[in-house]
Chains A and B, each alone.
Chain A
């Protein structure tokens, strides 16, 4: 579903991604781990072109998205994104946050969009908060709304950029539960995370990025119990 070939990304002089190649199949849940500054978030942000790659190819559902002819806005509608800082729209209610894109971009009617939004809120356990404003929600609740907002566009893949890193520890669980449920329903997910327990339990594959390269790419059991690289071992011994 997603194929990345020799992806590179530089910010000025600084080469953040050197040469990344990997493939992500439909329904696969891939966790990307690595220390901060390793390039893992940049890699994720390249997948929906929030960062413009400096080189290489990204092929999504058979289409090279770096092609100038690709409609980036159409492409992004198929790719949900969840941010570390939630980025909900503060002037809109929870319900409006979720219905905005389906109504404007998919031309759904208000009733239709609201019905779908309520179903999604039900799913993330926040139906009671439909009329609340984001500032009146806890971080964990905001992040669950952000997940619902992304799901409302019925994406083919969900990208998560450290979705629990800005949360108080007691709220991490509620967000991870929603993500786990999503994974069980067969959503294709690419998750940049520091939650090693989650990666081990939920991921089909774990990719360890260090210094702008993929160091290790395999099933979580192997990586966590028997990493093949010294660098992976050193990293895991620090975070586990």
Chain B
């Protein structure tokens, strides 16, 4: 029987490749979810019902269903109904982005609404437009308040990518599963997989906390 050391050394290149995929999907989906969240947030706060309702339905649908179902639906369900083909990577990216985007919507909205109405009135009464007041006065204040929840959401995004193993994306979890399916060393492999997730997420939290401090002080 191989030593633990050898098992780990042999698995390492594959696990690192998996980690790369995990990070790639996390980074891309976080970027997309920021854009989605920002758009949906302003739709939710719009005075027009045509914009408000779709955004509210989106947020509630995502929050009200498990992410696993969302992934399966976008990879298997929707393409069948629409008669299109999505690669696992594209489907996974869409699913994670939409999921995190919905939570971002609420984080952004909460941050913006936590800034008193007086700030908007002060900006408008100086002659700034709604958009200018938002950009120059409200958002800089709101962003600071959003950071802790947003960082929390980042760590969720990274963890949620492990669900993409169900549609066959070779991210960290999937790679780990394939390895121990062959060598039956599930203890070592899963420990490594867990450790990789932990290090990644801990690094993100650590950097964010540093940034957060700087933001709050300045």
Q: How far is the CA of A80 from the CA of B128 in the complex (A)?
A: 12
Chain B, interface SS category? helix
From B127, B132, B137, A89 is in contact (CB under 8 Å) with: B137
Within 8 A of B (CB), among A27-59: 48, 50
Contact mask for chain B residues 124-164; partner A; CB cutoff 8 A; 1 contact, 0 none? 11111100100011001100100000000000000000000
Contact mask for chain A residues 62-82; partner B; CB cutoff 8 A; 1 contact, 0 none? 000000000001101101110
Cβ of B113 under 8 Å from chain A = no
Determine whether the beta carbon of A105 is less than 8 Å from that of B121: no
Q: How far is the CA of A101 from the CA of B133 in the complex (A)?
A: 10
Determine whether the beta carbon of A105 is less than 8 Å from that of B126: yes
Q: How far is the CA of A105 from the CA of B116 in the complex (A)?
A: 23
Residues of A within 8 Å of B118, CB to CB, are 83, 85, 87
Contact mask for chain A residues 121-159; partner B; CB cutoff 8 A; 1 contact, 0 none? 000000000000000000000000000011001000000
Number of residue pairs A-B, CB distance < 8 angstroms:
56
Q: How far is the CA of A86 from the CA of B216 in the complex (A)?
A: 22
Determine whether the beta carbon of B122 is less than 8 Å from that of A76: no
Cβ of B119 under 8 Å from chain A = yes
Cβ of A190 under 8 Å from chain B = no
Contact mask for chain B residues 85-110; partner A; CB cutoff 8 A; 1 contact, 0 none? 00000000000000000000000000
Residues of A within 8 Å of B126, CB to CB, are 76-77, 81, 100-101, 105, 149-150, 153
Determine whether the beta carbon of A73 is less than 8 Å from that of B141: no
From B121, B127, B132, A87 is in contact (CB under 8 Å) with: B121
Cβ of A237 under 8 Å from chain B = no
How far in angstroms is the closest Cβ of chain B from A43? Answer: 15
Q: How far is the CA of A150 from the CA of B125 in the complex (A)?
A: 9
From B116, B125, B128, B136, A79 is in contact (CB under 8 Å) with: B125
Q: A89-B137, A90-B141 are in contact. Are A76 and B124 (CB under 8 A)?
A: yes
Q: How far is the CA of A237 from the CA of B122 in the complex (A)?
A: 34
Q: A100-B136, A104-B136 are in contact. Are A87 and B119 (CB under 8 A)?
A: yes
Q: How far is the CA of A50 from the CA of B126 in the complex (A)?
A: 11
Number of B positions contacting A (CB below 8 A): 17
How far in angstroms is the closest Cβ of chain B from A89? Answer: 6
Determine whether the beta carbon of A50 is less than 8 Å from that of B125: yes
Cβ of A91 under 8 Å from chain B = yes
Residues of A within 8 Å of B129, CB to CB, are 73
Q: How far is the CA of A88 from the CA of B124 in the complex (A)?
A: 13
Determine whether the beta carbon of B127 is less than 8 Å from that of A77: yes
How far in angstroms is the closest Cβ of chain B from A61? Answer: 15
Determine whether the beta carbon of B122 is less than 8 Å from that of A83: yes
Residues of B within 8 Å of A73, CB to CB, are 124, 127-129
Determine whether the beta carbon of B121 is less than 8 Å from that of A101: no
Residues of A within 8 Å of B136, CB to CB, are 100, 104
Determine whether the beta carbon of A50 is less than 8 Å from that of B121: yes
Most chain A Cβ neighbours within 10 Å, of B126, B128, B129, B132? B126
Within 8 A of B (CB), among A86-111: 87-91, 100-101, 104-105
| CB-CB nearest in chain A for B117 | A87
Determine whether the beta carbon of B119 is less than 8 Å from that of A83: no
Q: How far is the CA of A83 from the CA of B122 in the complex (A)?
A: 8
Determine whether the beta carbon of B122 is less than 8 Å from that of A50: no
Q: How far is the CA of A90 from the CA of B127 in the complex (A)?
A: 19
Residues of B within 8 Å of A150, CB to CB, are 125-126
How far in angstroms is the closest Cβ of chain A from B98? Answer: 32
Q: A100-B136, A104-B136 are in contact. Are A89 and B128 (CB under 8 A)?
A: no
How far in angstroms is the closest Cβ of chain A from B23? Answer: 33
Q: How far is the CA of A150 from the CA of B122 in the complex (A)?
A: 9
Q: Pick 28 A–B contacts, CB within 8 A, sort by A.
A: A50-B121, A50-B124, A50-B125, A73-B127, A73-B129, A76-B124, A76-B125, A77-B126, A80-B125, A83-B122, A85-B118, A87-B116, A87-B121, A87-B122, A89-B122, A89-B137, A89-B141, A90-B141, A91-B141, A101-B126, A101-B127, A104-B132, A105-B126, A105-B127, A149-B126, A150-B126, A153-B126, A153-B127
Known pairs A87-B118, A101-B127, A105-B126 / 9 extra A-B pairs, C-beta < 8 Å:
A50-B124, A76-B127, A81-B125, A87-B121, A87-B122, A104-B128, A104-B136, A105-B127, A153-B127
